[in-house]
Amino acid sequence: MHLPSEWMQKSVSVILPVFNRRHLVQRAIHSLVDQTFQDWEVWIIDDGSTDDVHKDLIPFVMHEPRARYIKQANHKLAACRNTGILCAQARYVTFLDSDDEYLPTHLQARVNYMNDHPSVDVIHGGVKLVGPEESHWVPDARNETKMIHLSDCTIGATIFAKKQVLLASGGFRLLPYSAESELMPRLQASYHVHKVDFPTYVYHTGLDDSICTHRHAQNRSH
């Protein structure tokens, strides 16, 4: 794939997977465009959406030179993130889920942290939870009969890492739930990983079509 030279120079690649989130994805996109740190590219990975979300995404990509759009068959979140990692052109890779958003200083805070800690390969954490308190508890990826608070979880979209580290690690395993919970121990075993506490990633909980909501409902029905 040949890309213009200005694309090769971006500092951060943002991977934005979307599946049937036409009613929400514009919020995520606006939060990216409004960042104080503007040296980014975004790869929007459409995971086989059927709600015509492309009618909103393609015009955005046509007018935003830092954006690219890829539509693939439905392979779920982990596969979307892996597609984005492979496409990413920047030194750092991070994520933005289509039902969430960034506060304006999100990317700048993470770039500053990595610049201030050059030995660190991966950071994660720094979440603001928005939604009913009861929806802040989700099935534990290691034992789904138990509930765990999101503050004790690895929130996959907050991962901010050197691209080569994600590539060398093999990326996300194609698990149906919380692939980041499997990825993080592998990263910690081989790389320098820090958890940060500046809450600039806005995680919207309790949505009807979220993975956590579906997983909880499935577990209660068993």
With a cut of 50, which residues of the chain have pLDDT below it?
1, 5-7, 212-222
pTM to 2 decimal places = 0.89
Q: Of 116, 118, 136, which Cα lies nearest the Cα of 127? A: 136
The pLDDT value given to residue 83: 97
- Ordered by where they begin, the domains of the chain are 5-221 (3.90.550.10)
The pLDDT value given to residue 208: 61
The pLDDT value given to residue 144: 81
Cα→Cα distances 140→99, 127, 128, 150, 174, Å: 21, 18, 20, 9, 17
The per-residue pLDDT for range 91-150, each reduced to its tens digit, is: 999 999 999 999 999 999 999 999 999 999 999 999 999 999 998 999 988 888 899 999
